Amino acid sequence: MTFELPPLPYDYKALEPFVSASTLEFHHDKHHAGYVTNLNKLVQDTELANKSLEEIILATANDSAKTGIFNNAAQVWNHTFYWHSLKKDGGDPTGQLADKIKASFGSLDEFKKQFKEAGATQFGSGYAWLVLDNGQLKVVKTPNAANPITNSQTPLLTADVWEHAYYLDYQNRRPDYLQTFLDHLINWDFVAEQYAKAGK
Ligand code: MN3
């Protein structure tokens, strides 16, 4: 199949002032688009051409001859998931998800602390994630394009900590970007949907 760049699920200005329209334009229209273009070129006329994105990610994750395919496929997946993770002032978690966060981390603030720490200490490029792992909520970080589905974890939320995600708005202040993400940009409805799906 030919992969297509999914449209942003909101307007370029939807996350201002926390993420600027310029950042979203470059990040979606250039970076995310570039991964889609590269992936299509790399899988064309190969045995992976008719696989789903998840199948390609899982099939190439531990194959050093296919690192380029893995990186581009995972980046396509990660960015689509990241866009949906974002909503301006998306409230706080409620219901079963709120209970699970409290049971897993002690409090929402403790979750935020761990998530910020994970994102801030990811050396170089990568992602911070909230995942479901064997029924437990965990905060994890991954380098470069890596995705928790290759560790049998179910992603519920992600923050892109590649410099292109925040440099125009926050320059080198990654912790400030992460704090703003945690306080103003999490789409908790999306997280709750992923949690409900994973429980089925
Ligand atoms: Mn990115």
Each residue's pLDDT tens digit, 49-87: 999 999 999 999 999 999 999 999 999 999 999 999 999
Ligand 1 centre and the CA of 37: distance in Å?
Answer: 15
The predicted model scores a pTM of 0.97
Task: Name the token pair of 170.
Answer: 């926050």
We find that the CATH architecture of domain 21-85 is: Orthogonal Bundle (1.10)
Alpha helices (runs of H) in 86-200, residue ranges in sequence order: 95-105, 108-121, 163-170, 174-180, 188-198
Identity of the amino acid at 42: L
What are residue 195's phi and psi, to 5 degrees?
-65, -40
pLDDT at 17 over 80: yes
Q: For the chain, which residues make up each domain, given as ranges?
A: 21-85, 95-198
DSSP helix/strand/coil, 107: coil
pLDDT band per the 50, 70, 90 thresholds, residue 199: confident
- Look at the domain 95-198 and name its fold: minor pseudopilin epsh fold (3.55.40)
CA distance 65 to 68: 8
Contact 157/85 with Cβ under 8 angstroms?
yes
Ligand 1 centre and the CA of 32: distance in Å?
Answer: 7
Q: What is the dihedral of CA 105, 110, 74, 177, to 10 degrees?
A: 170
pLDDT value, residue 115: 98
Q: Kindly report the average pLDDT of the chain as a whole number.
A: 97
Ligand 1 centre and the CA of 31: distance in Å?
Answer: 7
Ligand 1 centre and the CA of 63: distance in Å?
Answer: 23
pLDDT band per the 50, 70, 90 thresholds, residue 200: low
Ligand 1 centre and the CA of 106: distance in Å?
Answer: 30
pLDDT at 1 over 80: no
pLDDT value, residue 35: 98
